[in-house]
A = this chain, B = another copy of it.
Amino acid sequence: MTSSFFPPQRTLMGPGPSDVSPRVLGALSRPTIGHLDPLFVQLMDEIKVLLQYAFQTGNALTLPISAPGSAGMEACFVNLVSPGDTVIVCQNGVFGGRMRENVERCGATAVMVEDNWGEPVSVDKVAAAFAEHPQAKTLAFVHAETSTGVRSDAQALCALAREHGALSIVDAVTSLGGIPLKVDEWGADAVYSGTQKCLSCVPGISPITFSPRAVERIQQRQHKVQSWFLDMQLVMGYWGGDSKRAYHHTAPVNDLYALHESLVMLQEEGLENAFARHLRNHQALVAGLEAMGLSMAVAAAHRLPQLNAVNIPAGVDDAAVRSALLSDFDLEIGAGLGALAGKTWRIGLMGYASNERNVLSCLTALEAVLARQGADIRTGAALNAAAAVFNAG
């Protein structure tokens, strides 16, 4: 017989899922009601409005896809890309590669704009790609690369797409709620995110938003969307406007309780305060890491405050360090991904997990484990350096 599962209480400072607020876990386990219950329909309406706040948009088509961020990505591509299209896809980490897969599975051609992992997308290269491929109708890029901890200039890239009459598809999985993401002001056309990063919510849901221009393209499609589950015309019918809702699928009721609570918390804190908190904790962490003698993998101008890529010091056993942090401190940090596997750690400070206690306990645990492994680090300086940032703030 298999027994019930009782997970330990970890501190989640990897690339996500991040720590979930106890308020959100409390909401998650409230009694399930029907997905067509009038009270649930009200909840859906509130979630749409709260997501508009989080995305800083007035887009009517703003809602959570009932599946993880990868499905949110796919929802954007299958609805906006048609067979034969040309899509400019920027790759500076893992997730640009997935975008390419999505484009190609739509029967379209991906024009790749490559940048080094750990560097932002080059706006100049994208401009050159548009010049070379004037038929490109879509630009796709990652705002906050979870695999490298790099922020790209979403505002400039969205503006470039508009200049060329193209729509922009923006991966905001790790940015939503952590750094400014001004969907309307920047003119982003299709933006998807995830619940398990800076929203402090459980994984499994993908908030998305489509601009009126994107909706127009969907309505003018000549080919049926290849995914029935992700066909936005059907999903829209379920999430409804003023009219009666058409059954499409059964919404993940409890996950949406959790998402609602996490968005209520974001609204209570205020977006600007949330961004400032993420930034301050990041600065303190970096001060501590550098005081310890470690170096950051990304240039200061392009760092994501919510995801800190740290170079693994020479001679240190990557897996052994992460394993010791997990077993001795119940602390999860992330491994490097793809080209950066074995070269960096990724320390997340996302959402509820972005707090002073986590910064200090992570520095403490990392210093203890590295010292035990005989790594060449400076001990006894990290906490003071981090505290100085907090005390100044």
Interface residue ranges, A against B (CB under 8 Å):
1-10, 12, 14, 16-17, 19-20, 23, 25-35, 37-40, 43, 46, 49-50, 66-71, 73-74, 98, 101-102, 104-106, 194, 196, 202-204, 224-229, 247-255, 257, 260-261, 263-264, 267-268, 326, 332, 337
CB pair A105 B227 closer than 8 Å:
yes
A97 to chain B, nearest CB (A): 11
Q: Label chain A's interface by main secondary structure.
A: loop
CB pair B30 A7 closer than 8 Å:
yes
CB pair A33 B8 closer than 8 Å:
yes
> Lowest 4 CB-CB distances: which A-B pairs, in order?
A204-B252, A29-B29, A67-B67, A70-B249
A206 to chain B, nearest CB (A): 10
CB pair A105 B250 closer than 8 Å:
no
A17-B2 contact, Cβ under 8 Å, with A28-B28, A70-B229, A250-B194:
no
CB pair A39 B8 closer than 8 Å:
yes
Selected A-B contacts with CB under 8 Å, 23 pairs: A4-B27, A5-B43, A5-B257, A5-B261, A7-B39, A7-B257, A8-B31, A10-B37, A16-B250, A17-B35, A19-B32, A20-B254, A28-B28, A35-B203, A68-B252, A69-B249, A104-B224, A105-B224, A105-B225, A105-B226, A196-B250, A202-B254, A203-B252
**A39: chain B residues within 8 A (beta carbon):** 7-8
**A229: chain B residues within 8 A (beta carbon):** 67-68, 70-71, 73-74
**A1: chain B residues within 8 A (beta carbon):** 264, 267-268
A195 to chain B, nearest CB (A): 9
CB pair A74 B227 closer than 8 Å:
yes
**A263: chain B residues within 8 A (beta carbon):** 2
CB pair A260 B5 closer than 8 Å:
yes
CB pair A9 B31 closer than 8 Å:
yes
A247 nearest CB neighbor, chain B only: B337
A32-B49 contact, Cβ under 8 Å, with A229-B70, A229-B71:
no
Q: A4-B23, A10-B34, A202-B254 are in contact. List 4 more A-B contacts (CB 8 A).
A: A5-B46, A7-B40, A12-B33, A14-B34
A68-B250 contact, Cβ under 8 Å, with A10-B37, A227-B74, A228-B98:
yes
A10-B25 contact, Cβ under 8 Å, with A1-B268, A228-B102, A229-B74:
no
Tell me the complex Cα distance, A260–B105, Å.
33
- Scoring A17, A43, A332 by chain B CB atoms within 10 A of each residue's CB, the highest score goes to A17
Tell me the complex Cα distance, A28–B69, Å.
20
A4-B68 contact, Cβ under 8 Å, with A34-B12, A102-B228, A203-B250:
no
